[in-house]
Structure 1
């Protein structure tokens, strides 16, 4: 009878991906911003007006984090007055699918308690 050799190495968590998920979920406004973008609201002023409690300062911090992770892209138009819009990147769409799966998992956990 053959014996199986143990050739497995220790599995480590994906540090950058885990940090990204933690940072985005840690920002209580990121998921709301994704919802706004999904509904065609992509200008910062309009975002602030649409959500009670969201300030320009907090919105800008949240948007900056999402841009650093390449989830969102900032599009500046050379117009007077200046116009800025935000859009989800291709990577951001992949990342949002992961967040959707986490929501599905949470719903299953909530349903089984």
Structure 2
């Protein structure tokens, strides 16, 4: 048999996107924040008041991580008193759809067991 040229390379997990998913799922509040934004609750103070157990410190950390990943965008208004709102970026919309698909997959796995 002749040696054939290798045409495939070792396939590795997508490092950055896998880390993003792990970080977001690791933050137990991220999915709740997405739900709040989907319901037009986009100001941090309103988010804290809307969810029992959510603190300002934890929310700010969660929002910061999501902003760094490009999932959320922070919008500051030059007003007195200062006003800050968050919105989902176009990339964030695609990312959240992936998380929704993972949730559906989890439901299917539960049904199979």
| Shorter-chain TM-score tier | over 0.9
Question: Helix, strand or coil for the counterpart of 1:93?
Answer: helix
Question: Helix, strand or coil for the counterpart of 1:41?
Answer: coil
Alignment pair present for 1:46 and 2:16:
no
Which 4+ stretches in 1 moved above 3 angstroms? Answer: none
Unmatched 5+ stretches in structure 2: none
Rounded Cα–Cα distance in structure 2 between residues aligned with 1:55 and 1:61: 10
| Aligned-pair CA distance for 1:7 | 2.2
Alignment pair present for 1:107 and 2:107:
yes
Unmatched 5+ stretches in structure 1: none
How many residues are aligned here? Answer: 111
Match in the other structure for 1:98? 98
Tell me the alpha carbon deviations over residues 54-77 of structure 1, each in whole angstroms, 9 at most, x when there is no partner.
Answer: 000000000000000000000000
Tell me the alpha carbon deviations over residues 29-56 of structure 1, each in whole angstroms, 9 at most, x when there is no partner.
Answer: 0000000000000000000000011000
Aligned-residue CA RMSD (Å): 1.3
